Amino acid sequence: MTDKDVFICRCEEITLAEIEQAIDEGFVTVNDVKRRTRAGMGLCQGRTCGKQIARIIAQKTGIPLESLLPGTTRSPVRTEKMEIFKGEQDV
Amino acid sequence: MTEHFDVIIIGGGIVGLSSAYYLGLKGKKILILEAGGFGHGSSGSCDDMILLQSKKPGINLRLSLESLELYRQLVNDWGVEELEFLNLGGMILIQNQQELSIMEDFVQQQQKIGLDVTIVDKNEMKSLQPYVSDRFIASTYSNMDSQVNPFSVMRGFLTRIKKMGGEVRFYSPVKSLQKKASGSWIVKTSKDDEYYSDVIVNTAGAWAGEIGKMVGEEIPVSPKKGQLVITEKVPSLGKTNLWSASYMVTKLRPDLAKDNSPDNGIGLGFSFTRTTDGNYLIGSTREKAGFAKQNSYEALRAVVSQAVDFLPVLNEVHFIRTIAGFRPASVDGKFILGEHKSVPGFFTAAGHEGDGIAMAPVTGKILSEMVAGENNKQDYSELSPDRFKLQSTDNERVFNVVGSKR
């Protein structure tokens, strides 16, 4: 196993090599890398890998890290069972 | 140095990419200008279906059958894995006798056009879908409904467009369109880049109207927000993907729409599709909410509550994400495809509402033939951008379809 085989996105098992390939193809935002590779689409929704991916993009492209926006966050904040709305009254 | 292209395509979603692909196959030199990034618009915020059963008999069903054939050709050329093409079939769940008789009639019309679809009784429904609620009395079944991963399709088009020498610029919103005396177009982006072309193709989806305004054309496409929920990966919960007849019935027979539906004006429908990765995509709403892309608690609750009601096993399943996208809705439920009569060299291919993924290949292929001046002997006047007539009053603008043939 080489460094390139390391999983950056553990949920979806996306390796450093795959992230770097996407960057080489011109996908140079956290959202674009996600849409190209699935990195960040898993259970943790990029909470673990998002910052690492931003760092990899910055290192590889020279884009300043602080100008790379984090991926879009949407509800739910953490995964929830779908029963969660049961019995809730109309508001 | 200003570059000249045969065709400049405005909008790099699945319809724009498909158009570029088929134009590229005809040897055209292509530039795509996309306002956002890859899959930033509706094509990246939708479900994954090539759903035939929801199509009204007529041009929509006919073209979606052709589009499925084109997807099969792409599968043949690129390989099934690249497109993540699946053919799981689909079922539309029926709750009562009224829905049953409307769906029986609908299914009969679809069969005449060549769709392989039937109604199955409760026993057969349960054997295919053991987890659906007992409230359903029957269902439709078609083995033709299929799906692809929209991101994979778009990436496949993108790679091949570039291989054929086409160019794609992301984050390049178009600011203005002008026609020179020579007849060629000058396209300016908000970065102040300038490009020339013989032909403009407007594939801007929900934003197609904005592009139309730049050449003085009214294109009646408006955004309808669709919110979906994505589950964790779980084992398969049934043989096919699922929809509910209640939503189909409100589309087919709006006069029967019930007042007691849990809709609250968010256009709630039910779709339940399994991705190749094992997540379920559950939808969906159709809301008039302008271009506000936020997810709402109300819609999330409505979509999830309906899903656990229809498939109680989902109570135990986690949802991990919500998404929202703008379905580009044209006023008459048919998409827009063709050259604008009063603006030669300006084509629109937009307004697919919920059918963009399904219709992308056939749209791109027909568009490429139109731009190349080939006549494939089919009549597409039903889709013409010139079919709308603007009727303005003081407070509202109403589009009517002129000379529509049925």
Which residues of A lie inside 8 Å of B (Cβ-Cβ)?
A: 12, 26-27, 29, 31-32, 35-36, 38, 41-43, 45, 74-76, 79-86, 88
Say how far apart CA B37 and CA B324 lie, in whole Å. 16
Count CB neighbours of B325 within 10 A. 25
CB contact under 8 A, A35 and B44: yes
CB contact under 8 A, B304 and A88: no
> What pLDDT does B396 receive?
59
* Cross-sheet strand order for the sheet of A80-81: A80-81, B318-330, B221-231, B280-283, B271-274, B241-244, B90-94, B138-142, B117-121
Q: Which residues contact B60 (CB under 8 A, 6 or more apart)?
A: B333, B334, B355
Say how far apart CA B396 and CA B298 lie, in whole Å. 29
**Closest CA in chain A for residue B282:** A82
> What pLDDT does B255 receive?
75
Structure tokens belonging to residue A81: 């069972």
> What predicted TM-score, i.e. pTM, was given to this entire model?
0.93
Q: Which residues contact B241 (CB under 8 A, 6 or more apart)?
A: B49, B51, B88, B89, B90, B91, B145, B147, B271, B272, B273, B274
CB contact under 8 A, B301 and A85: yes
Q: Which of A82, A84, A89 to mutate to test the interface with B (most CBs of B within 10 A)?
A: A82
Please report the residues numbered 209 through 268 in chain B whose beta carbons come closer than 8 angstroms to any beta carbon of chain A.
231-232
All residues of chain B having their beta carbon less than 8 Å from the beta carbon of residue A45 are 320-321
Answer for the pair B357, B14: CB distance below 8 angstroms, yes or no: yes
Please tell me the total number of residues recorded for chain B in this structure. Answer: 406
Say how far apart CA A75 and CA B282 lie, in whole Å. 15
Q: Using only C-alpha atoms, what is the Rg of chain A? A: 16
CB contact under 8 A, A79 and B305: no
**Closest CA in chain A for residue B300:** A75
- Which positions of chain A have pLDDT values less than 50? none
- Element spanning B160, H or E: helix B150-163
Which of A38, A43, A83 lies nearest to residue B232, judging by beta carbons? Answer: A43
B157 closest CA partner among B36, B289, B25: B25
pLDDT (tens place) for every residue of chain B, 406 residues total:
578 999 999 999 999 999 999 999 999 999 999 999 999 999 999 999 999 999 988 999 999 999 999 999 999 999 989 999 999 999 999 999 999 999 999 999 999 989 999 999 999 999 999 999 999 999 999 999 999 999 999 999 999 999 999 999 999 999 999 999 898 999 999 999 999 999 999 999 999 999 999 999 999 999 999 999 999 999 999 999 999 998 888 778 877 765 445 566 799 999 999 999 999 999 999 999 899 999 999 999 999 999 999 999 999 999 999 999 999 999 999 999 999 999 999 999 999 999 999 999 999 999 999 999 998 889 999 999 999 976 555 555 666 665 444 3
Please report the residues numbered 338 through 397 in chain B whose beta carbons come closer than 8 angstroms to any beta carbon of chain A.
none
Query: Which residues are bridge partners to B397 per DSSP?
Result: B392
CB contact under 8 A, A74 and B170: no
CB contact under 8 A, A31 and B40: yes
Query: Which residues are bridge partners to B271 per DSSP?
Result: B243, B283
The residue type found at B26 is K
CB contact under 8 A, B40 and A81: no
| Distance between A59 CA and the closest CA of chain B, angstroms | 20
**Closest CA in chain A for residue B297:** A75
Answer for the pair B7, B201: CB distance below 8 angstroms, yes or no: yes
| Distance between B322 CA and the closest CA of chain A, angstroms | 6
Distances (CA, A) of B100 to A31, B176, B245, B249, B252: 44, 51, 8, 10, 13
| Distance between B334 CA and the closest CA of chain A, angstroms | 29
All residues of chain A having their beta carbon less than 8 Å from the beta carbon of residue B37 are 27, 29, 31-32, 35
Please indicate if any CB of chain A lies within 8 Å of the CB of B322: yes
Which of A32, A42, A82 lies nearest to residue B315, judging by beta carbons? Answer: A82
All residues of chain B having their beta carbon less than 8 Å from the beta carbon of residue A21 are none
CB contact under 8 A, B38 and A36: yes
Sort strands B146-147 and B49-50 into parallel, antiparallel or unpaired: antiparallel
Answer for the pair B63, B362: CB distance below 8 angstroms, yes or no: yes
Which of B155, B301, B307 lies nearest to residue A36, judging by beta carbons? Answer: B155
Please indicate if any CB of chain A lies within 8 Å of the CB of B316: yes
ipTM exceeds 0.95, yes or no: no
All residues of chain B having their beta carbon less than 8 Å from the beta carbon of residue A38 are 277
